[in-house]
Amino acid sequence: MPARIIDLTHLLNEQITVYPDTEGPKIVSLNNVAEHGFAELQITMVLHSGTHIDAPCHVIQDAKSLSDFPLSKFMGPALVIPCTGIDAITLEYLKTYEPLIAGIDFILFYTGWQHKWKTDAYFANCPTLTPEAAKWLTMFQLKGIGFDAFSVDPIISAHIVTEENLPNHHILLGKEILLIENLTNLDQLPSTPFAFHCLPLNIENADGSPVRAIAQVEG
């Protein structure tokens, strides 16, 4: 039976939820078929809009950008870990998944926040990793981790970002474990490993990029 494709990407438009104090996308029609014979949209947005990936240089001076990594960095076997109904993703909780984590490239954390997309409730703090749990994850050969929420850290204003209030960003990106944020449809994924792809745009020196994240599920 051929693999089933599950889209893990939110639709990108001007109505998406954006991180506090961040400007949302602006989409303008420059040309249309009726008047000009061809259609052409112009989009202006920060690279961390919608479903996107963070590079180490997003928060670490002189660290790698997305264009510094090979394509293989953005695909591989993944595991979804359910985190609904808990306040924090602790080391004790993660250790129950250790045998599976040891054999995969990506962990996707299903918090249930995907269902709050485009509502004020999306800004409430979702379950995030404790710094102890984040440091433990750096022991594995992970390429990245993802969330169906804004951030691997509690939400703050984009105007007051420091290493102290984004500890998990620094712990994980410091080890070149990429961060994929604002995923969706994680509730449709199996409890067993599956193939995951999250290819960024090929932008030189990119600190982040929108991605079309998908899962390939057998059967």
Report the alpha-carbon angle 156-112-167, nearest 5. Answer: 35
Long-range interactions of 12-19: CB distance < 8 A, separation 24+: 12/49, 12/50, 12/51, 12/210, 15/118, 16/49, 16/50, 16/117, 16/118, 17/117, 17/118, 17/119, 17/122, 17/123, 17/182, 18/49, 19/48, 19/150, 19/151, 19/155, 19/158
Active-site residue among 10, 48, 58, 169?
A: 58
Known catalytic residue: 58?
Answer: yes
Strands 208-217 and 4-7: antiparallel
Catalytic residue set? 58
